[in-house]
C-alpha cells in the first residue's frame, strides 16, 4: 500500500460515543463505507482475532476525525485516499479493546517507576527502556515537562509487533544530567549515541509528542539515512503563539528549582480560578497524580519532582532554547524522500485536559486553525505524508486516544518494512 504525496486525512462520518468502539466480532456487521483487501493483515494483532476478509470496522472516534469541510478550508489539500484511512481505522479499531483495558487498569506501568537501561551517551547516561522485537525499531520522545511514562499505554502495544524504545531526556526521569544548553541538536545527538551504544541500529520510526516533535525532526535532519519515518503527535509548531507565557513559566520553574535545591517546601503554582492549588511537584505531564497510572508510578514521579534539581535545570534550558531549535530546523531543510510521515493533529493544541464546559472562544478557534496549518507544513518533508485529525482528544493524544497513535504507528511500520 503506497501513501501518496502530501495528503491530509479526514473521515466524513463520526462513529460511536466517545471512548467507545466496536469489537472485532462486529467487523463484518458494521463495516461502514470502508472496504479494503488488507483488512485481515491490519487486524492481526496477537490476542485480537482478525476481522473477516475484506471488512473494515467503522472508524468511530478513534480514527482521524475532523469535519471534512473544515479540513478542506483549513488546509486546502486533497483528502486522504480510502486505503490509508481504512488502514488506520482498522488498526485502531482492532487495538481498541486491549488498549482500553490497559488504560483502565494501568497494568504493568510500574516498569516506568524504575530505571530501564542506563546507557552512556555523549558524556551523560540516558535511561532507555526497550521492549519487543523487530525492525524497524520505534523510538519515542516525549513533550516538555514529560518523560517516558507518557508512552505507558502506547509502548506495550507497539512492542507486540516491533522493538519499541522510550527514554528520559538528559536530566529528566532516571537519566543523568546532560551538558548545557539543552538544544534539540544536543538532545538528538545524545539519543543517537545512546541507541547505538545499546546496540539498537537504525533505521528508526521516530515518534515525537509536543516538544518531542522538534527533537525527532532534528534527529531526522542530522541522521536522515537512519530515519525510516516520522509520526508527529500534536507536535509543537513554534512561533509567537507557541511561546506566549514562556517567561512566566521559566520564572516559576526557577522558584521551584531553588526550593528543591535548598530543601525548602515547594511553592504553589498559579491556577485558573476555581481550580485547586497545586505544588511544583504536580506540574509535570498534565498534572500529578495521573488518574490512569498506578499508585507506584505516581509516587515515584512525585518523588523525582520533589528531589531532582537536574530535571528543573533541564526543562528550564529546553524552554529557553526552543527559539534556537526552531531556527535550526528552518536553516537545515531536508527531505525523507518517499519515507512516510504522519502528522496527528487535534483542535486542542496546548490543552492538557478537555473541558466540555469551556467552549473555545473565537480567538482560540483561530489559533487552533493556525496551528493546524503550521503542522501541515511538515508534510513537505516527504512525498509520502499525511495529516490525520481528531477532535476527541486534548493535546495528550497518547492518554486520551492511544489507539489513534498506535494505529498510525502500525500503518507506518507496515509501510516501512
Q: What does the pLDDT look like over 398-411, one tens digit per residue? A: 999 999 999 999 99
| End position of a domain, from candidates 290, 306, 339 | 339
pLDDT score recorded for residue 31: 30
pLDDT score recorded for residue 61: 33
Same domain, 69 and 159: no
State the pLDDT confidence band at 394, using cuts at 50, 70 and 90: confident
Q: What does the pLDDT look like over 23-76, one tens digit per residue? A: 333 333 333 322 232 232 233 222 222 222 222 222 233 333 333 334 333 333
Residue from 95, 196, 206, 194 nearest 142 by CA: 206
The helix/strand/coil state of 182 is: coil
- Are 147 and 203 in contact by the 8 Å Cβ rule? The answer is no
CATH of the domain at 223: 3.40.50.1820
The helix/strand/coil state of 189 is: helix
236: cell is 509543537
Q: What does the pLDDT look like over 143-153, one tens digit per residue? A: 999 999 999 99
Query: Under the phi-then-psi rule, with left for phi > 0, alpha for psi from -120 to 50, and beta for the rest, what region is 186?
Result: alpha
Q: What does the pLDDT look like over 343-392, one tens digit per residue? A: 999 988 877 777 777 777 788 888 888 999 999 999 999 999 999 998 88
343: cell is 502528522
Same domain, 159 and 229: yes
Q: What does the pLDDT look like over 300-318, one tens digit per residue? A: 999 999 999 999 999 999 9
CA distance 60 to 91: 12
Mean pLDDT of the chain: 79
CA distance 205 to 405: 13
pTM of the model as a whole: 0.79
378: cell is 511538515
- Are 330 and 322 in contact by the 8 Å Cβ rule? The answer is no
Half-sphere exposure of 214 (CA within 13 A, CB side): 27
Q: Cell 476478509, residue?
A: 53
Same domain, 57 and 181: no
Q: Cell 537536574, residue?
A: 310
Same domain, 306 and 199: yes
Same domain, 242 and 128: yes
In this prediction, residues 333-339 reach a mean pLDDT of 96
- Are 177 and 170 in contact by the 8 Å Cβ rule? The answer is yes
pLDDT score recorded for residue 106: 53
Same domain, 42 and 114: no
pLDDT at 85 over 90: no
Using the Cα atoms of residue 352, residue 356, residue 358 and residue 360 in order, give the sign of their dihedral.
positive
209: cell is 509528542
Q: What does the pLDDT look like over 173-195, one tens digit per residue? A: 999 999 999 999 999 999 999 99
In this prediction, residues 281-298 reach a mean pLDDT of 94
Same domain, 113 and 96: no
| Domain range enclosing 12 | 1-105+346-417
State the pLDDT confidence band at 241, using cuts at 50, 70 and 90: low
Half-sphere exposure of 70 (CA within 13 A, CB side): 17
CA distance 358 to 369: 18
How far, rounded to the nearest angstrom, does the alpha carbon of residue 202 sit from its chain's CA centroid?
A: 20
Same domain, 249 and 302: yes
pLDDT score recorded for residue 272: 63
Question: Terminus-to-terminus CA distance in the chain, angstroms?
Answer: 11
pLDDT score recorded for residue 107: 63
Same domain, 386 and 286: no
The CB density around residue 240, as the number of other CB atoms within 10 Å, is 6
Q: How many domains does the chain have?
A: 2
Same domain, 417 and 393: yes
pLDDT at 3 over 90: no
Give percent of the chain with pLDDT exceeding 90: 61
In this prediction, residues 109-115 reach a mean pLDDT of 97
| End position of a domain, from candidates 339, 366, 382 | 339
Q: Cell 516538544, residue?
A: 211
Same domain, 280 and 259: yes
- 3-state SS string for 229-273: EEEEECCCCCCHHHHCCHHHHHHHHHHHHHHHHHCCCCCEECCCC
Angle at CA of residue 218, ends 123 and 281, nearest 5°: 65
pLDDT score recorded for residue 358: 76
| End position of a domain, from candidates 339, 373, 404 | 339
C-alpha Rg value of the chain to the nearest Å: 20
CA distance 38 to 233: 25
pLDDT score recorded for residue 353: 79
CA distance 208 to 40: 29
pLDDT at 94 over 80: no
Same domain, 182 and 34: no
Angle, helices 322-331 vs 211-222, to 10°: value is: 40
Amino acid at each position: 500500500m503506497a501513501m501518496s504525496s502530501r495528503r491530509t486525512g479526514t473521515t466524513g462520518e463520526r462513529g460511536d460515543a466517545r471512548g467507545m468502539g466496536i469489537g472485532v466480532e462486529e467487523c463484518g456487521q458494521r463495516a461502514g463505507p470502508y472496504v479494503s483487501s488488507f483488512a485481515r493483515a491490519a487486524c492481526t494483532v496477537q490476542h485480537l482475532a482478525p476481522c473477516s476478509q475484506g471488512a473494515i470496522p467503522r472508524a468511530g472516534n478513534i480514527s482521524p476525525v475532523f469535519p471534512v469541510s473544515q479540513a478542506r478550508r483549513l488546509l486546502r489539500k486533497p483528502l486522504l485516499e480510502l486505503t490509508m484511512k481504512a488502514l488506520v481505522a482498522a488498526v485502531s479499531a482492532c487495538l481498541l479493546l486491549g488498549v482500553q483495558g490497559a488504560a483502565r487498569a494501568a497494568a504493568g506501568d510500574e516498569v516506568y517507576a524504575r530505571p530501564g537501561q542506563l546507557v552512556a551517551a555523549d558524556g551523560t547516561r540516558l535511561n532507555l527502556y526497550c521492549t519487543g522485537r523487530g525492525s524497524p525499531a520505534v523510538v519515542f520522545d516525549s513533550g516538555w515537562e514529560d518523560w517516558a511514562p507518557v508512552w505507558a499505554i502506547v509502548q506495550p502495544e507497539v512492542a507486540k509487533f516491533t522493538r519499541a524504545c522510550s527514554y528520559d531526556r538528559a536530566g529528566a526521569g532516571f537519566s543523568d544530567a546532560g551538558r548545557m544548553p539543552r538544544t534539540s541538536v544536543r538532545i538528538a545527538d545524545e539519543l543517537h549515541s545512546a541507541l547505538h551504544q545499546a546496540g539498537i541500529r537504525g533505521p528508526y520510526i521516530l515518534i515525537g509528542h509536543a516538544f518531542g516533535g522538534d527533537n525527532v525532526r532534528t534527529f531526522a535532519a542530522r541522521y536522515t539515512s537512519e530515519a525510516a519515518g516520522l509520526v508527529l503527535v500534536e507536535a509543537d509548531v513554534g512561533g509567537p503563539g507557541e511561546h506566549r507565557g514562556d517567561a512566566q513559566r521559566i520564572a516559576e520553574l526557577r522558584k521551584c528549582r531553588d526550593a528543591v535545591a535548598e530543601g525548602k517546601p515547594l511553592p504553589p503554582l498559579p491556577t485558573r480560578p476555581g481550580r485547586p492549588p497545586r505544588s511544583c511537584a504536580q506540574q509535570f505531564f498534565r498534572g500529578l497524580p495521573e488518574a490512569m497510572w498506578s499508585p507506584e508510578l505516581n509516587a515515584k514521579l512525585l518523588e523525582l519532582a520533589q528531589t531532582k534539581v537536574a530535571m528543573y535545570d533541564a526543562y528550564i534550558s529546553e524552554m529557553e532554547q526552543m527559539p534556537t531549535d526552531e531556527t535550526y530546523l528552518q536553516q537545515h531543510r531536508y527531505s525523507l524522500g518517499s519515507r512516510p510521515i504522519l502528522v496527528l493533529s487535534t483542535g486542542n493544541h496546548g490543552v492538557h485536559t478537555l473541558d466540555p464546559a469551556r467552549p473555545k472562544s473565537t480567538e482560540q478557534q483561530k489559533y487552533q486553525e493556525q496551528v493546524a496549518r503550521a503542522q501541515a507544513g511538515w508534510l513537505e518533508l516527504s512525498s509520502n505524508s499525511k495529516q490525520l485529525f481528531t477532535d476527541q482528544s486534548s493535546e495528550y493524544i497518547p492518554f486520551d486516544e492511544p489507539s489513534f497513535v498506535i494505529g498510525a504507528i502500525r500503518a507506518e511500520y507496515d509501510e516501512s518494512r
